Amino acid sequence: MTPDPLSAKFAALADPTRRAILARLCEGEASVNELAEPFDMSLPAVSKHLKVLEKAGLISRSREAQWRPAKLEPMALKGVADWLEHYRRYWDASFDRLDSYLRNLQKGKDDGQRN
């Protein structure tokens, strides 16, 4: 247990239901019932998903009478983006290779360097 924070974030994001919940929370805080509405799933199931997101730091929860609204915590996503950023140069390089390959095709003839 107690996996590292980054693993917890990736694991939390690896479920489409949870990603949909995050997308919904972009529009503002929402109660469990509101969040559960789009899904064909029991309330406890949604509650569990919220707990996973909360433990990963991706959302926070408050109390408002009998409601427990959930709120997006976007800085946690920034942590994931920062990890990915180390790899940007690799996919940029891949894209450049693909780009020049396509340019050579476009130029039509065999006037580009082979390889």
Partner DNA sequence: CCATTTGTCAACCGGTCGGTTAAATGAAGC
Partner DNA sequence: GCTTCATTTAACCGACCGGTTGACAAATGG
Interaction site with DNA (CB under 7 A): 1, 11, 14-15, 17, 31-34, 40-45, 47-52, 61, 63, 65-69
CA atoms within 13 A on the CB side of 69: 12
Q: Residue 4 — left, alpha, or beta (φ > 0 → left; ψ -120 to 50 → alpha)? A: beta
| Nearest distance from C-beta of residue 59 to its own copies, angstroms | 12
Q: Which residues bind its own copies (CB under 8 A)?
A: 3-4, 6-8, 10-11, 13-16, 19, 22, 26, 72, 74-75, 77-78, 80-81, 84, 87-88, 90-91, 93-95
Cα gap 114→39, rounded to integer Å: 53
